[in-house]
Amino acid sequence: MTSNTDDGEISYREAMREALREALASDDRVFVMGEDVADYGGTYAVTRSLHSEFGRERVRNTPLSESGFVGAGIGAALGGMLPIVEIMTVNFSLLALDQIVNTAATFRHMSGGQLSVPIVIRLATGAGRQLAAQHSHSLEGWYAHVPGLKVVAPATVADARWMLSAALADPDPVLLFEHTGLYATKGETGSGPVSLEGAAVRRPGADVTMIASAGMVPKALDAADQLELAGIDAEVIDLRSLRPLDRPTLAESVGRTHRAVVIDEGWRSVGYSAEVAASINEDCFYTLDAPVGRVATVEVPIPYPKHLEEAAIPQVADIVAATSAIVKGVAVDA
Amino acid sequence: MIDERVRPLADMIRIRVFEERCAELYGQSKIRGFLHLYIGEEAVAAGIIPQLDADDAILATYREHGHALLRGVQAGRIMAEMYGKAAGCSGGRGGSMHLFDAATRFYGGNAIVGGHLPLATGLALADKLSGRRGRVTACFFGEGAVAEGEFHEAMNLAALWELPVLFCCENNTYAMGTSLATSESQTDLALKASSYQMPAWAIDAMDVEATQRGAAKALATIRGGGGPVFLELRTYRFRAHSMFDPELYRGKDEVEEWKSRDPIEAYGRRLIAEGVITNDGIDELWQAAGDEVDEAVDYAESAAFEPVETLTRHVTGDVTDEVGGNGAVPSSGAVR
């Protein structure tokens, strides 16, 4: 059940569950499928109790067969259903990479536009829970490389509540990334529907544009609060969609602030932050007052010990340091 | 109306003639990329596909020209696809390996070995969840796919969820140049499949009538709600794996021995012996198939290429597109 608190705030997890409940209740073509989504309630408890409401046919446990059940989801989408497939973590999705990249992303094209694959794949992503190097990576940037896919990452409770229905309404495969560090965050659900695409300015500012997604958004907002105390007025943009990337919103912002820092939980080299930085360079080069900065994960598989994990992934202090260095014109190696 | 016993012969001849022409056209550089010929294996498609209903679904491999042809995709649209022309059955975007036709529920043309087996379970799951009883999804794949994890995942899901899938394993002995004996610890594929608790048996698929009988039995089981069935269709590819294959892995004697069991010649002899058809009657079938291919080639030759300006079409759709409408109900046949 949704536990609306008196102040109207619910958790990101509850918002996702409410979105799933609404989808299941409003369209017979929708079903949820994944490992332990029924009795267990999902690894991150997102689907808890939905099977008692909608039955085990529509909230369907699968064997540990990522390629099999993602492929089955794609097939069901071809057969007229609107499947929502949960993959426990993005790391495990690599077992289904063939289905996502070779099939879901290609069928519209290979069939000359006759077919579409309206599947939604939900994946947990991100580090911060001491789950080490096979449960903590942020690989959404890999998927954002692939034409034919849409890649979104709700960072707020409102987007967690409303992005799913937009993803289901989209005729193409949508990968919806849920950062595990966000599940317990609380916020207002706002009102839908929302657009699947388009970045959102989460905090207006004049001196520098901080660009983040998923679990990096709250960190960027915290960093902006600290920077404000130091007299720096930072704008924070939540990308929301990694593919397509909302370049106009970035260009408009950076055109005003003349400085940009990209914050990404993926690794730095050949990472998504490089794509964002390159786009800004292409769109805003002559208005930039400083090189585009990047704060990204250190080039190491995510380690288990808390202090090393924290050191590997971007922290508020790293974002503050990199951003103030850019604003002050000081070189920094973030 | 063609005689029921003659039809499989006519179907096999249509595939043979179509593909012999494809080989010629490849030599003339009209068809490019990979071209995988089905020659020698025609009894599989001819024994199974005509028994499927219009609202059944089919998935096949990159060796799928014959399957598409017998499913009712126009020869001209198939040939135009191989030419890369916009009038092709996949708009020219797929080529030989990616023939698609939503109107006949023909879901490719899949060139990742084993990759389409999970799709077949999903199409069948959609039918089950939607209460569309009696529908079957027929999935054709080579024996090489049996070594892939996706084969096992799909078999397990189909059996676990009792889905109406007909798994058609076209065992032509070689995965490219790797023989079954050198790649599988268990070469009895029906035995392997039966470990998933589904009916599974082997069929001499050089014999089109044996294939028909096996398929009929399997389809009756599936349509009756008996869950999936696995058929191992023992066949042989007379031609090279693709046009790039120098065939270093098998001897000429072996190929000649299998050719002596040519499914078209064998079935033709049987029909003549039983007085169902005459030699002249068979000649007419070859002539008709030749005429069909001539027309197909003319169609492909005269068709236009897609302009480069529309290169980025068919990557994503509009959000205003109808979502989830794929083949749920076979459409009028118009390619959207």
Please report whether residue B335 resides in a domain: no
CA distance B287 to B81: 24
CATH class of this structure's domain A200-328: alpha beta
B333 at A interface, C-beta within 8 A: no
Q: Do A71 and B93 touch (CB under 8 A)?
A: no
Continuous segment of H or E residues that includes residue A235: strand A234-238
Residues of chain B contacting A107 with CB distance shorter than 8 Å:
100, 108
Distance CA B15, CA A98 (A): 31
Instruction: Tell me the pLDDT tens digit for each residue of B231-259.
Output: 999 999 999 988 888 899 999 999 999 99
B328 touches A at CB < 8 Å: yes
**Contact A143/B at CB under 8 A:** no
Q: Is the pLDDT of residue B147 over 60?
A: yes
Task: Over range B212-226, report the average pLDDT.
Answer: 97
CA dihedral B288, B289, B290, B291 (to 10 degrees): 50
Give me the domain span that covers residue B274.
7-303
The count of other CB atoms within 10 Å of the CB of residue B3 is 12
What would the mean pLDDT of B308-312 be, rounded to a whole number?
A: 96
SS3 B140: strand
pLDDT at B114 exceeding the cut of 60:
yes
* CA-based end-to-end distance of chain A: 43
Contacts of A93 (CB under 8 A, 6+ apart): A66, A70, A87, A100, A121, A123, A139
CB B108 within 8 A of CB B118: no
Name the active-site residue from A14, A18, A35, A66: A66
- Using CA atoms, how far apart are residues B148 and B194, in angstroms rounded to an integer? 17
In a domain, B117, yes or no: yes
Enter the ipTM. 0.94
Partner A contacted by B311 (CB < 8 A): no
Distance (Å) from the C-alpha of residue B77 to the closest C-alpha of chain A?
12
Who contacts B219 (Cβ-Cβ below 8 Å, separation ≥6)?
Answer: B51, B52, B136, B166
User: How confident is the model at residue B244, as a pLDDT?
Assistant: 85
Same fold, A9-188 and A200-328: yes
Candidates A75, A147, A150; nearest CB to B125: A75
- Return the pLDDT at B243: 84
Q: What is the pLDDT of residues B314-327, one digit of tens each?
A: 999 976 666 655 64
A179 in catalytic set: no
Give residues 128 to 187 of B whose Cβ lies within 8 Å of A: 129-130, 149-150, 153-154, 156-157, 160
> A200-236: string of b/e by CB count within 10 Å (b at 16+)?
bebbebebbbbbbbbbbbbbbbbbbebbeeeebebbb
- Please report the residues numbered 182 through 221 in chain A whose beta carbons come closer than 8 angstroms to any beta carbon of chain B: 196
> Is residue B242 within 8 Å of B35, Cβ to Cβ?
yes
Rounded CA-CA distance A191/A19 in Å is: 12
DSSP code, position A101: I
Q: What is the pLDDT at residue B321?
A: 65
Residue A51 a catalytic site member: no
Identify all chain A residues contacting B127, using CB atoms and an 8 Å cutoff.
79
Interchain CB distance below 8 Å, B91 and A111: yes
Q: How far is B314 from chain A (nearest CA, A)?
A: 5
**pLDDT score of B330 more than 50:** no
Q: Do B122 and A103 touch (CB under 8 A)?
A: no
Q: Is the pLDDT of residue B93 over 70?
A: yes
Closest CA to A31 of A124, A122, A157: A122
For residue A80, give the nearest of B94, B121, B328 by CB distance. B328
User: What's the gap in Å between the CA of B2 and the closest CA on chain A?
Assistant: 32
What is the number of domains present in chain B? 1
Pairwise CB contact (< 8 Å): A99 & B153: no
For chain B, say whether A75 makes contact (Cβ under 8 Å). yes
Catalytic site residue from A14, A86, A135, A178: A135
Cβ pair B159, B228 in contact under 8 A? yes
| Spatial separation of the C-alpha atoms in residues B60 and B113, rounded to whole Å | 10
Dihedral-angle region of residue B263 (phi above 0 means left; psi in -120 to 50 means alpha; beta otherwise): alpha
Sheet holding B229-234, edge to edge: B106-109, B57-60, B137-142, B165-171, B229-234, B200-204
Residue B335 has pLDDT above 90, yes or no: no
pLDDT in tens, chain A (334 residues): 445 455 679 999 999 999 999 999 999 999 999 999 999 999 999 999 999 999 999 999 999 999 999 999 999 999 999 999 999 999 999 999 999 999 999 999 999 999 999 999 999 999 999 999 999 999 999 999 999 999 999 999 999 999 999 999 999 999 999 999 999 999 999 999 999 999 999 999 999 999 999 999 999 999 999 999 999 999 999 999 999 999 999 999 999 999 999 999 999 999 999 999 999 999 999 999 999 999 999 999 999 999 999 999 999 999 999 999 999 987 555 4
Q: Which helix (H) or strand (E) holds B137?
A: strand B137-142
Does the beta-carbon distance from B129 to A57 stay under 8 Å?
yes
Question: Under a CB-based contact definition with an 8 Å cutoff, are residues A83 and A90 in contact?
Answer: no
- Residue A2: the pLDDT is 47
CB contact under 8 A, A114 and B328: no
Quote the Cα angle for B34-B38-B40, to 5°. 145
Residue B190: inside a domain: yes
Contact state of A118 with B318 under an 8 Å Cβ cutoff: no
Where in chain A are the domains?
9-188, 200-328
d(C-alpha A24, C-alpha A28), whole Å: 7
User: B107, A115: Cβ pair inside 8 Å?
Assistant: yes
**Average pLDDT of span B40-46:** 98
Model pLDDT, residue B329: 36
d(CA B244, CA A293): 49
CATH number at residue B244: 3.40.50.970
B312 within some domain: no
Q: What is the mean pLDDT of chain B?
A: 94
- Kindly determine whether residue B107 and residue A76, on different chains, have CB atoms separated by under 8 Å: no
Residues 100-139 on B with a CB inside 8 Å of A are 100-102, 107-110, 112, 115-127, 129-130
Choosing among 3.40.50.880, 2.40.50.140, 3.40.50.970, 3.40.50.2300, the CATH entry for A9-188 is 3.40.50.970
* Residue-by-residue DSSP string for B223-275: HTT---EEEEEE----S-SSTT----SS-HHHHHHHHTT-HHHHHHHHHHHTT
